[in-house]
Amino acid sequence: MRYDIVSIFPESLEGLLSIGVIGQARAAGQIEIHLHDLRDYTDDPHRMVDDRPYGGGAGMLMKVEPFVRAIEAIREQAATRLPAVLMSPHGRLLRHEVAAEWAQGDGLILLCGRYEGVDERLLSFIDGEVSIGDYVLAGGEVAAAVVVEATARLTPGVVGKYDSVASDSFFSGQRLGSPQYTRPPEFRGLTVPEVLLSGDHAKIDAFRQRAAWEKTARNRPDLLGLQVEDGGSDG
């Protein structure tokens, strides 16, 4: 099992992922962990990884291009096509079943966000978003460590027996944030929704509410009291 973790603070994970069962599994060659600095995949002198959100709003968003370049570089190194997953409070909930499924694979590319989120177009280049629970962390690094621990211990030989991951706390009636976009306005054929460039705040609000509802219905139908299908956030 090979893990590639992309972060603006890669060094923050080295200690945590060198200890205990994970450290032993690395030393024994059962798992490999590669930490990547997202700024190494920028192409400007300031090594910028964030920018202002289109349509206005508080805070900064992470740009799409450095993440996509990192994924492409990692996929060139890895023997097989590893799934890329964004750590995000807007993703489907990490549950035992998800961890067990990933543990059957060859590895994972784990992408760590920071700031107010990530340009939504990143989703066109990755295999999914995962949340470790219904709370917002300062960044994806801790969540990436959770994914490594939850999956590595289910990898044959690492712990030696299957075990269940503790279930997460839960709250209902919440909706997820709407998709967001930052520069550039066009990336590899993917454009920012027109309305966000319009400056019409009433329209932008309406768009965001609808898009947030659609995204919630898609990723977390349980939060809307909708029926959860197999393969949805619940499984």
Please indicate whether residue 72 is annotated as part of the active site.
no
- Token digits of residue 180: 């967001």
Applying CB under 6 A, does 135 fall inside the site for ligand ADE? yes
- Assess contact for 111 and 85: CB atoms under 8 A: yes
Burial class (CB in 10 A: 0-12, 13-18, 19+), 109: buried
Applying CB under 6 A, does 88 fall inside the site for ligand ADE? yes
Binding track over 166-205 against ligand ADE, x by CB under 6 A: ----------------------------------------
Of 135 and 162, nearer to ligand ADE (C-beta) is 135
Hey, how many other C-beta atoms are within 10 angstroms of the C-beta on 76?
7
Catalytic residue among 92, 121, 153, 208: 153
Applying CB under 6 A, does 110 fall inside the site for ligand ADE? no
Instruction: Determine which residue in the list 5, 22, 74, 143 makes contact with ligand ADE, applying CB under 6 A.
Output: 143
The identity of residue 154, as a single letter, is L
Choices 65-73, 86-94, 197-205, 209-217; region in contact with ligand ADE by CB under 6 A: 86-94
Beta strand 32-37 pairing with 128-131: unpaired
Integer Cα distance of 146 and 209 in angstroms: 31
Applying CB under 6 A, does 62 fall inside the site for ligand ADE? no
- Token digits of residue 27: 């030393």
Integer Cα distance of 112 and 109 in angstroms: 10
Applying CB under 6 A, does 117 fall inside the site for ligand ADE? no
Please indicate whether residue 116 is annotated as part of the active site.
yes
Of 87 and 152, nearer to ligand ADE (C-beta) is 87
For residue 2, give the H/E element and its range: strand 2-7
Q: Which residues are catalytic?
A: 89, 116, 153, 168
Which residues are near ligand ADE by CB under 6 A?
87-89, 113, 131-133, 135-137, 140, 143
